Chains A and B, each alone.
Chain A
Amino acid sequence: MGGRLKIVLLLAPALAVIGVLFAGGLVIAFVQSLGYVPAIGMTELTLDAYRGILSDEDFFDSLVLTLYVSGVSTGVSTVLAVLAALALRRSSGRLSAVVFQLPITIPHLVAAVGIALVVGQTGLGARLAALLGLIGEPGDFPALLYDERSVGIILTYVWKEVPFITLVMLAALRGVASDLEDVARTLGAGAWQRFWYVVFPVISPSVVAASLLVFAFTFGAFEVPYLLGKSYPTILPVMAYDEYRGIDLAARPTAMAINILIALVTGAIAALYLRLARDLGRRRG
């Protein structure tokens, strides 16, 4: 009994912080999404905000854009990370750790500013193109910022997240996969066979877990699209922020409803990720 009390007391401060500031905030956000905002005289519980956004074309444009940005960012990052990890698995672990840790550590805002100065219409890329005679003036260079295809946002995410997935993969590759591959080689398996039947099945759960994290993060992230995205449609977190910050206080429930949907999607992905991570942990013993 004393033991249990001790555990509860030890956990209390952290659970209080997360319980009040995070879970409490989520609950308030949910209640406000139901139209209960007494501060501005709204006290009736309704599902109007949800009904409103689900029949709103702007919301669907925003949802499609969000899925597109996080889907493409995650897909491209995963493919590049698999290639990078396979190419680098035999190189110095310490050196590659330094190279990969840098983008992970650099804040997203810095990455976004740097990428913008590379791919913008007067950026390094455009200057190189002009040097090669491909374009005459900045306007000839394709618009990759504030653009229809969100290229600048996706490139920033890819630059940030490829190293993360690669490090996760390298850890998996240098562990079990490497030993098993040697066994397969001794047994006469070719390079492709070794990859497809031995390496891939071993590393794929780690890759899926890391990709899930990247998808969840890019789905709910705010600042890169806020800086490099076009003004319509915006991704969901930016849409929620704009609704929240707008002068129309009656739009609060709408902002909160969007937020709750983002939280539900990312929460579901988080649960999936933790399940995968737990299974991975069990397999390693």
Chain B
Amino acid sequence: MGKKGGNVGLALVAALVAVPFVPLTLWAFAGEWRFPDLLPTAWSLRGVAHLVEPGGGVLGATLNSVLIGAATAAASVAVGMPAGMAIGGYQWRFKGVVIFFILLPILVPPLASTMGVHVTFIRLGLADTLPGVFLVHLVPTVPYTALILAGVFAERTGELEEAARTLGASPWQAFLRVTLPGVLPGVAVAGLFAFLISWGQYVLTLLIGGGNVVTLPMLLFSAASGNDPVVTSALALAFALPAVLALVLALRVLKPGERAGGFVGPGKFS
């Protein structure tokens, strides 16, 4: 297969990737689109208006999604960073077992464990609340932040920290002034990952939020089960937006290979 064949192939793949976005984009701005017309016969901003309507609920749901996502990102970086340091920066026994344990929540679907903790959450008053949903969102995010940061710390030799210590810095100062600035890009990537994973959660929010914590995917799901493709498509595009933005950002900021590609899994963002 020559270079030309590869480019034709790439164009074909790009077209297939784009296919679901064609009706989503057309429907989001359609005013009238009857069968069997190939294109809408009238356009409207009803879908967009629904997104920003003050009493429409979308803004509130977006706010919930952002709040839970930001809290989840911050907490899972805070929890994942020391673990990443231990895994990436030091040699010790049973590391394989610990990595397996940390990976399990990514590989085993979270339905069983979430239904398991549900009763306890009800007893503690965490069910149907934002903090409760935030807590279960840590389950799929902490493995990612820990392992991404383990990769980041594995690449550090510790020489700079040693130099700082030689020059009289305390261990804490060396961490704060040398290690932290060095791993900051990795921390940002890990935080972004965690935010996107939380943003995409549906079933965890459904189980623990019990329909009282309304996030964007909740609205998208109920719209998709209904019969208004205009609103559904507008919601779907809004819901996909952070992922697309993050992708653009990641591709611009990071060199190829520097991305946390090793951890990209099928269930990652949903």
Residues of chain A whose beta carbon lies under 8 Å from any beta carbon of chain B = 3-4, 6-7, 9-15, 17-18, 21-30, 32, 37, 39, 84, 86-118, 122-124, 126-128, 130-131, 137-138, 159-161, 163-164, 167, 171, 213-214, 216-223, 226-227, 237, 240-241, 244, 255-256, 259-260, 262-263, 266-267, 269-271, 273-274, 278
Contacts and interface: CB of A to CB of B under 8 A. Distances in A.
A17 B138 contact: yes
B63 interface: no
Interface of B: 1-3, 5-7, 9-10, 13-14, 16-17, 19-24, 27, 35-38, 78-80, 82-83, 85-86, 90, 92, 96, 98, 100-105, 107-117, 119-120, 135-136, 138-139, 142-143, 146, 196, 199-200, 202-203, 217, 220-221, 224-225, 229, 232-233, 236-237, 239-240, 243-244, 246-247, 250-251, 256, 261, 264-270
A264 to B, nearest CB: 9
Given A21-B136, A227-B225, A15 B101 contact: yes
Give the top 3 A-B pairs by smallest Cβ distance, nearest first: A114-B20, A220-B109, A25-B113
Given A90-B3, A114-B24, A105 B109 contact: no
Contacts of A3: 90, 92
A262 B20 contact: no
Contacts of A123: 23
A105 B269 contact: yes
Given A88-B10, A256-B115, A97 B256 contact: yes
B109 A98 contact: no
Contacts of A29: 112-113, 115-116
A121 to B, nearest CB: 9
B9 A115 contact: no
A84 B240 contact: no
Given A15-B98, A118-B20, A106 B224 contact: no
Nearest to B147: A14
User: Chain A contact residues: over half helix, strand or loop, or mixed?
Assistant: helix
Contacts of A88: 6, 9-10, 13
Given A14-B80, A87-B6, A227 B244 contact: no
A58 B132 CA distance: 33
Contacts of A96: 10, 13
A125 to B, nearest CB: 10
20 contacts: A13-B79, A18-B101, A18-B139, A21-B113, A25-B114, A25-B117, A29-B113, A105-B247, A109-B220, A109-B221, A109-B224, A111-B20, A117-B20, A124-B23, A130-B35, A159-B20, A217-B265, A222-B111, A240-B111, A244-B115
A241 B60 CA distance: 27
A25 B251 contact: no
A128 B19 CA distance: 13
Given A104-B264, A267-B107, A91 B10 contact: yes
A270 to B, nearest CB: 4
Contacts of A163: 17
